Structure 1
Amino acid sequence: MSFIKHFRIALSLVLLVPFAPGFAEDNQTRIVILGARTSQGHGVHEFFSGVRALETMITESGSFEKGTELHVEAFPFGWTEETSLDGATTLVMYFDGRRENPLQDAAVRSAVSRFVSDGGSLVSVHHAAFTDDEALRPSLKSWFGGTLPADGGLAHAFFSVSATENDHPAGRGVGKIAYVDEAYPPLDFDNESGRVRPVVTGKIVPLSGAANAKAPEPRQGVAAWAYERADGGRSFTFTGGNELSAFDVPRVRTLLLNGIAWASRVEIPETGVPTRADPALAAKLLNPRHGKDPFTVSAMMTAEEYSVMQLDWGRIDWHVTGPMGNTDVLTTGIAIVDVGKSNPRHYHPNCDEVLHVVEGHILHTMDDVTVEMKAGDTVSIPKGVYHNATNIGDTKAVLAISFDSAWREVIGE
């Protein structure tokens, strides 16, 4: 249960580029960025923070506003009732298409399909162009010009890749990129149309591990490509971005911004699209205390120093949180639910929660499962699971709550 919105600050504006008749208005570029509501933790597949990073990188660029009015709309936690592609220039997607894929929702898939058919441009970061859904794979291949084959796997690898020498605009200013990310076997490309253009290629060296009998062999691979679709739209794909830290690699930033600009029909400078975004933007989204001295001194809080939230269903006394400055790693507090009251259904995208009933009698719902809990009972709630508590007793319910992040986030209905 946590009910404070400790959102990590990111700029919220919009970017768009005029391109196809019937889409963005003249002299407007509207870019929609779509993420997902869960992560693997510790900056891995933290798509919601990556969406915020992309939004800030774009709005702090300056290149997207030249000769056009920029609008950027970010949906870090996935498709919502407010998400619309009407009038959009480009849809940027950053999520795990093999797990929590918004395109598996028929209504979302239909909206994106119409957008593509009308010439809308697409950008895929990491797994968004991949899927385990055999019915969806042909659409992804036709939209992006390539996808992961049905029997495709993945592995952590050292990328030593460079912009190709085919003079594609998305490769401007990128040069050589060397860092650890996730790599894939040979991809299933549309090799017949001649419209797929590799942008970043090179040597990919899988990291050895317990599953490898010997050091794996390096291979040549494509890490990013551009696709001029037959419908007139453009698609750009970058397979990196497994970890949020990739967004702080300068040349990866240039590549991503170039790809979004190219898809949006924005002019790309010879040195690549710049950004004024903080060089440690992704690190600070993951940990707002990044760059500051770590918390190493014991700190005692008196009851008068707790951060108290009075709510219409009760209250929360926060004892230890990142914003309070007395921890770097966790959040703890006491939630008190009044008789007959419920807190709103919500989930935590970046942390697990442990709830322990100190006093009282509650019904606790987690997704579609409801359990009755009394004093002494404890429940562990994984990140991404919707949950809430209802006090069904005749006294106030006192709940000890803790989270494995000092900067936990909450998304409620």
Structure 2
Amino acid sequence: MKLIYPILFLISSGFFLNAEKKVVFIAGKKSHGYFSHEHIAGSKLLSKYINQADVGIKSMVVTDDGYPKNPSILEDADSIVVYCDGGGRHLLNSHLKEFDILMKRGIGLACIHYGVEVPKGAPGNYFLKWLGGYFETNWSVNPHWVANFSKLPNHPVANGVDQFSINDEWYYHMRFRESMSGVTPILSALPSEETLRRKDGPHSNNPHVRDAVIKRKEAQHVAWVYQRGKDYNEGRGFGFTGGHHHVNWGSDNFRKLVLNGIAWTAKLKIPQEGLKSGKVDLKDLTANQDYPSSDRWSEKKIKTVLNDFKNVSF
């Protein structure tokens, strides 16, 4: 009887409701060269700032050049973040069934940049169930362009994020679930016709995307959230197609939106002002790089970009 009152106090005070959330980042192999597709550096930077946001998240980064060598590390995760090269090299391609078991427990999933692309067929079908959408070859495209996000939705993932524009390899014309069921766009913009000047190819151009952008003038969704159903224990997904240029993690709005998205997939209540995203500096951005520095991304250029994201041109 003596134990009842302390337990009731803990429940009424929200002790159990505010239990720490575990987020696991899976960082893929090194890829494109210095300051591009920096999976480890990007994951460690995001992990650092989501831990410092003081919202009850403890994250960790797995750097096994692919799927975790010790998969049990994912068993008690509240959300998993995948930042890796995709397509035929995607680290989930050979682990679909075992990963589906995790997803059916309601574990969240966030995929960043190339991590949203998997082959059409079984991988793509699973991504529609887990994430609500994915990059499908001969349907989606991957140009570099300045996206202007002038309107943001009334959604927790957009909390505290101001309108912004930024240059990235924003994939668009994603393959979403039928009728966008369960999917809520977070970042949308209308690409210019210049983004469709390349010849037709698996990633470059196709008649479907030209009809959508040039003929119908449809805004393209480059970040979205997905609410799964009861068959997946109400799990959540977050897709974000930016993240090619490592320097963009220095943008407060860009970074805050992704931190919000990851926290949302862990079923955390997002503060009205969004997660505290800190201030990223040159030291933060140049840490944990896969490749030696290069003249293309000199310290001077990085500082210039940090000072003015709205007018940057890569």
Shorter-chain TM band? 0.7 to 0.9
CA distance in 2, matches of 1:292, 1:43: 11
Structure ranking higher in strand proportion = 1
| Deviation (angstroms), 1:149 | 2.8
Do 2:144 and 2:170's aligned partners in 1 also have CA atoms closer than 8 Å? yes
Cα separation, 2, equivalents of 1:206 and 1:50: 30
Deviations 1:86-118 (A, max 9, x none): 11100011112214311122xx32331111011
Match status 1:174 vs 2:171:
no
The answer to whether 1:51 aligns with 2:43 is: yes
1:28 to 20, 28, 41: 20
Report matched runs for 1:3-42 at 5 Å. Answer: 27-42=19-34
Alignment of 1:6-405 (within 5 A): 27-63=19-55, 65=56, 70-76=57-63, 77-83=65-71, 84-105=73-94, 108-151=95-138, 152-165=140-153, 167-192=154-179, 194-205=181-192, 211=198, 220-230=219-229, 231=232, 232-276=234-278, 278-280=280-282, 281-286=284-289
SS of the equivalent of 1:124 reads strand
Superposition deviation, residue 278 in structure 1: 3.1
Contact 1:161-1:177 within 8 A present in 2 as well: yes
1:193 CA drift (Å): 6.3
Is the contact made by 2:26 and 2:68 (CA closer than 8 Å) also made in structure 1? Answer: no
What SS is found at the alignment partner of 2:122? coil
1:208–1:197: structure 2 CA closer, same or farther, 3 Å change rule? Answer: closer
Amino acid at match of 1:227: Y
Give the letter for the 1:263 counterpart: T
Q: CA deviation at 1:26?
A: 7.5
Q: Distance in 1 between matches of 2:149 and 2:220?
A: 8
The Cα of 1:78 is off from its aligned counterpart by: 2.6
Please, what TM-score do these two structures have when normalized by structure 2? 0.73
Shift of 1:247: 1.1
- Secondary structure of 1:142's counterpart equals helix
TM-aligned CA distance change 1:206 to 1:98, over 3 Å = farther
Higher fraction of helix: 2
**Distance (whole Å) between structure 1 residues aligned to residue 115 and residue 257 of structure 2:** 17
1: distance between equivalents of 2:195 and 2:130?
Answer: 34
Structure 1 pair 293/244, CA: closer, same or farther in 2 (3 Å)? closer
Q: Aligned-pair distance for 1:225? A: 0.8
Q: What amino acid does structure 2 have at the position aligned with 1:269? A: P
Q: Which has the higher contact order (CA 8 A, sep 6+)?
A: 2
2:115 partner SS: coil
**For 2:276, what is the secondary structure of its paired residue?**
coil
Cα deviation code 1:169-215 (max 9, x no counterpart): 00111121211111334222114463111111123336569848xxx
Output the CA distance in 2 between the equivalents of 1:202 and 1:94: 23
Task: Report the TM-score when normalising by structure 1.
Answer: 0.57
RMSD, aligned CA: 2.9
State the shift of 1:80 in Å. 2.9
What SS does structure 2 have at the residue aligned with 1:59? helix
The answer to whether the 8 Å contact 1:85/1:111 transfers is no
8 Å Cα contact 1:58-1:257 kept in structure 2: yes
Cα distance between partner residues in 2 of 1:81 and 1:136: 21
CA distance in 1, matches of 2:17, 2:26: 21
2: distance between equivalents of 1:192 and 1:130?
20
Looking at structure 2, the residues matched to 272 and 101 of structure 1 have their Cα atoms a distance apart, in angstroms, of 30
> What residue ranges of structure 1 are gaps of 5+ in the alignment?
1-23, 295-413
Supply the distance in 2 between the matched residues of 1:101 and 1:85 (Cα, whole angstroms): 17
Q: Distance in 2 between matches of 1:228 and 1:97?
A: 23
Distance in 1 separating the partners of 2:196 and 2:219: 20
CA contact (8 A) 1:157 1:181 kept: yes
Gaps of 5+ in 2: 1-15, 200-212, 302-314
Instruction: Supply the distance in 2 between the matched residues of 1:177 and 1:147 (Cα, whole angstroms).
Output: 24
Deviation at 1:153, TM superposition (A): 2.7
